[in-house]
Structure 1
Amino acid sequence: MSAPSPLSDNSRYEQACDQAIAMCDGNLRSTIKALIMANEYLEIELEELQAAIAAGCVPARASRVESDAA
């Protein structure tokens, strides 16, 4: 499988930007605010998952996959 070309990656990002702006009715400030909020949410979720892993907790999804494979 070949790596995507930089041009196709750029096109994907351009489409994502257009979509985000459209979802905020063309308001760039609202778009940036929404993206910052989404990023903060994902950072918090990542920190919670890292803490759970450090505490020895296994995510439920991984547990089901292991039991299904047995």
Structure 2
Amino acid sequence: MPSEQQPAEQQPIVITDADVDEAIAACGGDARETVRTLLIAGQFMEVALEAAKQEASWGYVRGRPSRHLKEGAGS
């Protein structure tokens, strides 16, 4: 039976009222702008996650170092 790595145990995400207040304050106290900003940030994170999945598919699944890592190593 092949040995598969188990996913790391995830820690619960804790968001306090102070965190919420800070996010709203960062958007000038406008709750609607805060929601908009968080939605945009979530979209950026989805794009970054997809890019990471593509990179893992290229480098790790085939058991070879990433071509991007090789290119950056000589810089």
Please classify the TM superposition score into its range, dividing by the shorter chain length: 0.5 to 0.7
> Pairwise mapping of residues 1-70 of structure 1 onto structure 2 (< 5 A)?
9=14, 12-56=15-59, 57=66, 60=69
Q: Larger helix proportion, structure 1 or 2?
A: 1
> Percent of aligned positions with the same letter in both sequences?
27
5+ residue gaps, structure 2: 1-13, 60-65
Aligned residues: 53
5+ residue gaps, structure 1: 1-8, 65-70
TM-score (norm 2): 0.59
Name the amino acid aligned to 2:43. Answer: E
TM-score (norm 1): 0.63
